[in-house]
Amino acid sequence: METILTIQELKHLATEIRKDTLRSITAAGSGHPGGSLSAADIMTALYFRAANLATPTDPDRDRIFWSKGHIAPLLYTLLAYKGFFPKEELMTLRKFGSRLQGHPKKGSPPGVETSTGSLGQGLSVAVGCAYAARYDKLPVRAYCLTGDGEIQEGQIWEALMAGAHFKLDNLCAVIDNNGLQIDGRCSDVMCIDDVGAKLRAFNWHVISIDGHDMEQCVKALDEAKTVKGQPTAIVAHTIKGKGVSFMENVVGWHGKAPSQDELAQAICELDAQECE
C-alpha cells in the first residue's frame, strides 16, 4: 500500500516537480513552461494522493488523460516521480530518439494513457473510458486535464453533454483555468466565462478552487469521488507560470524555454518559497 502524503509533503513534492519540469524544458531548448507550472499543484495532488496508480499496467488503475497535451513536460516529470521510468531520462525531453516527445504518445513512456496534442479531444476519450469501465464493472475512475483555452473547442462540449447524459459519476474533468492561451487572454480570444455556470448548465457537479492551494486540491478530488449520478468538473483557478516571478501571468511563457540564467533564477525563487 502506498504511503498517504500529507498536505505539506505534497506541497514540497509539487515544488520539486516544478523544478525538474523546468530543467527538462531548458535542456530541450523548447517546451511549454507556463501551463506546466499552473497545473503542477492539482496534478501532484491527483497523481500522489487521489488516483489509484500503483502501476501503469494494472487493469484496475485509474486513467488520467492529458487533453492539453502540450504540457507534456509536467506529465513526464510526474510519471518519473511515480517511478514509472528513471528521472535521469527527463533530460532527454524532445531529443531525437527519446521516448519523451513534445506531445504525449500512448505508452511512451509508461503511464501515458493516450496520444494528445490536437486540442479538444481528450475529454471525449475520458468519457469513453468512464463508460467502458462502468459497463465492464471495473473500479476505475477516468480523469481528464483540460485548459480554459482548450475548452473553446466544440468537441469538449459534445463530451460534456455525453458525460452528463450517461451519468458518468466515475468521470472527473480538471480545468486548468489560468486565463491565458498562446494568442493572449482567453477572454479576448474567445471568452468562456463563467466556466462554472456553463458546466452546471450541462448538468455537471462543479467544484471551484484555488488551484494552488494544496488542501483545496485534495478536498476537491476527494469530493469528486463521493458524487453520484453525474460527472464532476474541478475548475482550478491558477496562475500561468506559477512560482516564477518573471513567468507569472506572462503569455510569452506559454511555449518558450528558459535560458540557463533564467532557469537558475527560477530554481532560486522556488527554493525560497519552500522556506517561507
The amino acid at residue 234 is I
Q: Which residues contact 239 (CB under 8 A, 6 or more apart)?
A: 38, 178, 212, 248, 249
pTM greater than the 0.95 cutoff: yes
Q: Convert the pLDDT of each residue in 30-42 to its tens digit.
A: 999 999 999 999 9
Across 36-59, average pLDDT: 97
- Whether 166 is in a domain gets the answer yes
The residues that bridge with 217 in the sheet, in sequence order, are: none
Q: How many domains does the chain have?
A: 1
Check pLDDT > 60 for residue 27. yes
Check pLDDT > 90 for residue 110. yes
Q: What is the DSSP string of 3-14?
A: PPPPHHHHHHHH
Check pLDDT > 90 for residue 275. no
Task: Kindly report the average pLDDT of the chain as a whole number.
Answer: 97
The reported pLDDT for the residue numbered 3 is: 80
**Is the peptide bond prior to 194 cis by the omega test (within 30 degrees of 0)?**
yes
| Cell 531529443 belongs to residue | 95
- Whether 176 is in a domain gets the answer yes
Across 140-163, average pLDDT: 97
Q: Convert the pLDDT of each residue in 184-196 to its tens digit.
A: 999 999 999 999 9
**2 pLDDT band (50/70/90 cuts)?**
low
- Whether 2 is in a domain gets the answer no
- Whether 218 is in a domain gets the answer yes
- Whether 1 is in a domain gets the answer no
- Whether 73 is in a domain gets the answer yes
- Element containing residue 175 per DSSP (H, E): strand 171-177
- Whether 18 is in a domain gets the answer yes
Q: Which residues contact 260 (CB under 8 A, 6 or more apart)?
A: 26
Check pLDDT > 70 for residue 248. yes
The reported pLDDT for the residue numbered 276 is: 67
Check pLDDT > 70 for residue 24. yes
- Whether 99 is in a domain gets the answer yes
Q: What residue numbers bound the domain in which 218 lies?
A: 7-274
How much of the chain exceeds pLDDT 70, in percent?
Answer: 99
What's 249's domain CATH number? 3.40.50.970
Check pLDDT > 90 for residue 221. yes
Check pLDDT > 70 for residue 1. no
Across 255-271, average pLDDT: 98
The reported pLDDT for the residue numbered 70 is: 97
Upper half-sphere CA count for residue 40 (Cβ side, 13 Å): 31
What's the CA angle centered on 151, arms 212 and 118, to 5 degrees?
105
